[in-house]
Amino acid sequence: MVDAREIKELDGKHRTAGLRGEQGIPGLTEQQGQAGTTGAPGVQGLAGVQGVPGPAGAPGVQGIPGIQGPAGTRGAPGVPGPAGVQGSSGATGAPGPTGAQGIAGPTGAQGITGPTGPAADISNIEIVPTAERYFYFAPATIESSITIMADQFSVDGVQEVFQRFNVGSNSYANLYINGMIQESTLYSLTPSSLTIRLNEGEAILSGTPIIVEIVRFSVRSSG
């Protein structure tokens, strides 16, 4: 039998030989001791200081837009609301004052001449001329243009005083001075007066008769 002391010495020699690189005789395996009790966890340490943020990265490439989706179905129309109540009409206001008459517009273009109507039967129509003569005698010599009022004349065959000459669109007039008919450019006649225009060197002597003759036309039926 091998003594335990010898085994221990041998084991020591073997370990020494192992340190020196020599191959010793394998010793006996020691028995593994029991594991100790797990200790309590230590206190958690303080959080470290946050590091400086790194630079921002370059933006990525924009993606391709997606395909447009189909249009949704149109909804049904809503129910129409009830009609509102009609309000009562207010009282009619008084008419405003009549505005000033506007400026007359330009005369329109002459219309197309209409067709000629049937010829009228004028076989029984008679035109009747009526002559009236008015007399005035110059009270003094007249050497310049003069206007003589109608009421200063006397009417042939009429005694009462008159105020106007019967001259109009259905008549014509002649002027006689001292029995001689005068040119129409030497005088003008209105219902209220006669104006005679004398040229230089002309004169109407005192007592000279000045006669206005007016011929009026009227129509009468002979049927």
SS3 11: helix
Q: Does residue 9 surpass a pLDDT of 90?
A: no
Pick from 149, 143, 147: which is nearest to 195 by CA?
147
How large is the average pLDDT for residues 58-68?
78
Residue that has been written with the tokens 């005698």 in this structure: 137
Decide if pLDDT at 123 tops 90.
no
Say yes or no to pLDDT of 59 above 80. no
Residue 139 near residue 174, CB atoms below 8 Å: no
At residue 71, the pLDDT reads 76
The residues spanned by each domain of the chain are 125-221
pLDDT at 122 over 90: no
Confidence band of 25 (pLDDT split at 50, 70, 90): very low
HSE, side-chain direction, 13 A CA sphere, residue 162: 18
Does residue 21 surpass a pLDDT of 50?
Answer: no
Could you give phi then psi for residue 162, rounded to 5 degrees? -120, 165
Give the type of residue at 138: A
Rounded to whole angstroms, the Cα distance separating 148 from 162 reads: 14
- pLDDT beyond 50 at 19: no
Question: What tokens were used for 18?
Answer: 């192992």
pLDDT band, residue 188 (cuts 50/70/90): very high
Cα–Cα distance, 67 to 69 (Å, whole number): 6
Average of per-residue pLDDT across 78-103: 65
Confidence check: pLDDT of 17 > 50: no
- pTM recorded for the entire structure: 0.44
